[in-house]
C-alpha cells in the first residue's frame, strides 16, 4: 500500500527535475553539481561513521574513508593556499557556529552585517551567533557602494571593542575591507572571521579577494553556492592555535557524523575547481556584469550603477516600483525564472515577506554553459515580462526554448545532462 506513496514521491521528484531542466535557476546561493559529484554522494560512505581524525578513528572500517579525506585535505590546502582545513562542518551555519565558539564566549561582542545590509542570519542574534549568546552589533553600511562603511565602522569598532569582526555576506556584491579590519583587530585584540559561503568558487577561481592573504584569521564557508560541491561547510586558517580550537568545536563539539558521502563528493569538486575553476569564475563575473548592465539599460533599478553593479556572481535590483520583491519573484517563477526576493538596506526588517529587492545569481546558468549572449536574451525576457507586461506563459515558453540549448553541465570532466534524475530500476 505504501509503495504507492513511494511511487508518488519519485514522480514528484522527477517533475522537480523536469521543472529545473526547463527553467533559469538564478538563486544566488545555489548551484548544480557534476554527475561525478552526484555519483559519489550516492556511495556507501553515506551509511558510515568516522568519528575522530584521519588515521585515528573511534570506529573500524574507515580505511577507504581515510584515503578520501586525506585527498580532501591535500586538495583544499592547494586550492586555497592555506595551512589548515577543517572540512567536517555539515553546513555553512555549523562552520560559523564552530568558528564563533572557538574564539568567543557567551556575552562577547561580535560585529557583523545586519540581514537587511546583506548579512546571513547565522551572523545575527536570531541564529548561530544568538544561540551562542554573542552580543551582536552591526557594521555601518554605505548603501551607495553596497559595502561596509569603513571609516564609520572603524570608529564603532574602536568604541565597542568586539571580540569577533565578522565579514562576508549573503548579498555580497563587492569585496569586503579585510585588510582594514585586520589592522583594527590587532589594535583591539579581536579575531577577523570571513564567511566566504557565497564567493568560495570565485575565490577558488582567483577572481575575488583572497581573504586569508588579506588578513582574515579564519575563513568559514559552505561549499555549494559558487563552489561545485554538494551541500556542506568548511573552515580554513593559517594559524595552528586557532585551528586546534576550531577543530575541537567541530568534533566533538558540533558534528558527530560529518556526512562522509558529502565530503567524498567535496573531494571531486575540489579537483573540478583546480582544473576548471579559473575559467568558470571569470565567466561568472562577466555574465553577472553583462546581465546587470543590460537590465539597467532596460530601465531596471539595478544597484550600484556607479560602481560597475557587481564584482561577484550576484546582482541586486530594487523592484519596489514594480510592486516589490514578492510580487516580482512570483511573476518570474510563473515564467520559469527562479530568483529570490531580498531585503535591501532601506527596508524595514518587518518587510521580509515583501522586501524592495530581488537578488539574482548567475553561477548556475554559467555552469550550464551560458555566456554574454544569453545574458542579453535573459535581460530582454525580464524586460518583456516585468516592464512590457507580456504574458507569463509566452515568456515561459521562450525560457523552455532557450534551455533546450543548455542541457549539459560545463566545467567538469564528463558530459552529462544537467538535471538528470538517476533512477534505479525497481522490481515491484
Q: List interacting residues with ligand PLP (CB under 6 A).
A: 29, 91-93, 120, 122, 168-170, 195, 197-198, 222, 233
Closer CB to ligand PLP, 120 or 403, in the complex: 120
Q: Smallest gap, in angstroms, from Cβ of residue 191 to ligand PLP? A: 17
244 is written with which cell numbers? 586546534
Question: Residue 272 burial by CB count (10 A; 0-12/13-18/19+): exposed, middle or buried?
Answer: buried
Q: Smallest gap, in angstroms, from Cβ of residue 39 to ligand PLP? A: 22
Q: Smallest gap, in angstroms, from Cβ of residue 399 to ligand PLP? A: 25
CA distance 305 to 314: 14
Closer CB to ligand PLP, 100 or 411, in the complex: 100
Closer CB to ligand PLP, 170 or 363, in the complex: 170
CA distance 169 to 8: 38
45 contacts 39 by C-beta, under 8 angstroms: no
Closer CB to ligand PLP, 124 or 290, in the complex: 124
Closer CB to ligand PLP, 32 or 169, in the complex: 169
Q: Smallest gap, in angstroms, from Cβ of residue 252 to ligand PLP? A: 20
State the DSSP H helix or E strand holding residue 180, giving kind and residue range, or none if neither.
Answer: helix 178-188
Q: Cell 561547510 identifies what position?
A: 233
Among residues 269, 314, 311, 248, the alpha carbon closest in space to that of 80 is found at 269
Identify the bridge partners of residue 148 per DSSP, sorted by sequence position.
141
Neighbouring residues of 84: CB distance < 8 A, sequence distance ≥ 6: 236, 237, 238, 239, 240, 243
**Which residue number places its CB atom closest to ligand PLP?**
92
Closer CB to ligand PLP, 227 or 296, in the complex: 227
Closer CB to ligand PLP, 195 or 364, in the complex: 195
Q: Smallest gap, in angstroms, from Cβ of residue 354 to ligand PLP? A: 20
Q: Smallest gap, in angstroms, from Cβ of residue 95 to ligand PLP? A: 8
CA distance 105 to 86: 21
CA distance 186 to 362: 37
| 3-state DSSP percent of the chain in helix, strand and coil, to 5 | 50, 15, 40
Q: Is the peptide bond prior to 252 cis by the omega test (within 30 degrees of 0)?
A: yes
Q: Smallest gap, in angstroms, from Cβ of residue 219 to ligand PLP? A: 11
Closer CB to ligand PLP, 33 or 197, in the complex: 197
| b/e sequence 370-390, b meaning 16+ C-beta within 10 Å | beeebbeebbbbbbbbbeeee
Q: Smallest gap, in angstroms, from Cβ of residue 245 to ligand PLP? A: 20
Amino acid at each position: 500500500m505504501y509503495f504507492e506513496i513511494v511511487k508518488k514521491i519519485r514522480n514528484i521528484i522527477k517533475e522537480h527535475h523536469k521543472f529545473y531542466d526547463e527553467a533559469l535557476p538564478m538563486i544566488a546561493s545555489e548551484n548544480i553539481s557534476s554527475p561525478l559529484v552526484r555519483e559519489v554522494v550516492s556511495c556507501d560512505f553515506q551509511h558510515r561513521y568516522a568519528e575522530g581524525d584521519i588515521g585515528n578513528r573511534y570506529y573500524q572500517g574507515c580505511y577507504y574513508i581515510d584515503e578520501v579525506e586525506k585527498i580532501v585535505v591535500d586538495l583544499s590546502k592547494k586550492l586555497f593556499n592555506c595551512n589548515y582545513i577543517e572540512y567536517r562542518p555539515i553546513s555553512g551555519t555549523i562552520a560559523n557556529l564552530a568558528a564563533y565558539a572557538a574564539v568567543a564566549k557567551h556575552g562577547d561582542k561580535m560585529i557583523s552585517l545586519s540581514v537587511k545590509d546583506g548579512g546571513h542570519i547565522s551572523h545575527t542574534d536570531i541564529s548561530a551567533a544568538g544561540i551562542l549568546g554573542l552580543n551582536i552589533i552591526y557594521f555601518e553600511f554605505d548603501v551607495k557602494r553596497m559595502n561596509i562603511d569603513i571609516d564609520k565602522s572603524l570608529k564603532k569598532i574602536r568604541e565597542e571593542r568586539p571580540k569577533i569582526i565578522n565579514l562576508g555576506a549573503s548579498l555580497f556584491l563587492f569585496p569586503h575591507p579585510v585588510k582594514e579590519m585586520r589592522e583594527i583587530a590587532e589594535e583591539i585584540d579581536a579575531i577577523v572571521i570571513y564567511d566566504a559561503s557565497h564567493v568560495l568558487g570565485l575565490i577558488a577561481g582567483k577572481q575575488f579577494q583572497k581573504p586569508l592573504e588579506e588578513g582574515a584569521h579564519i575563513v568559514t564557508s559552505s561549499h555549494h553556492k559558487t563552489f561545485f560541491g554538494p551541500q556542506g561547510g568548511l573552515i580554513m586558517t593559517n594559524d595552528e592555535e586557532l585551528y586546534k580550537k576550531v577543530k575541537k568545536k567541530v568534533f566533538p563539539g558540533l558534528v558527530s557524523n560529518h556526512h562522509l558521502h558529502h565530503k567524498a563528493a567535496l573531494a571531486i569538486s575540489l579537483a573540478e575547481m583546480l582544473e576548471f575553476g579559473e575559467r568558470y569564475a571569470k565567466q561568472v563575473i562577466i555574465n553577472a556584469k553583462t546581465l546587470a548592465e543590460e537590465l539597467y539599460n532596460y530601465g531596471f533599478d539595478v544597484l550600484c550603477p556607479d560602481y560597475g553593479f557587481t564584482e561577484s556572481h550576484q546582482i541586486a535590483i530594487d523592484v519596489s516600483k514594480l510592486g516589490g520583491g514578492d510580487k516580482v519573484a512570483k511573476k518570474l517563477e510563473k515564467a520559469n525564472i527562479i530568483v529570490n526576493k531580498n531585503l535591501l538596506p532601506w527596508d524595514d526588517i518587518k518587510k521580509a515577506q515583501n522586501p524592495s529587492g530581488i537578488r539574482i545569481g548567475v553561477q548556475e546558468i554559467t555552469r550550464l554553459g551560458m555566456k554574454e549572449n544569453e545574458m542579453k536574451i535573459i535581460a530582454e525576457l525580464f524586460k518583456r515580462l516585468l516592464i512590457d507586461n507580456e504574458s507569463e506563459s509566452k515568456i515561459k515558453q521562450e525560457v523552455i526554448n532557450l534551455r533546450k540549448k543548455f542541457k549539459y553541465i560545463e566545467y567538469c570532466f564528463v558530459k552529462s545532462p544537467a538535471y538528470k534524475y538517476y533512477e534505479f530500476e525497481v522490481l515491484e
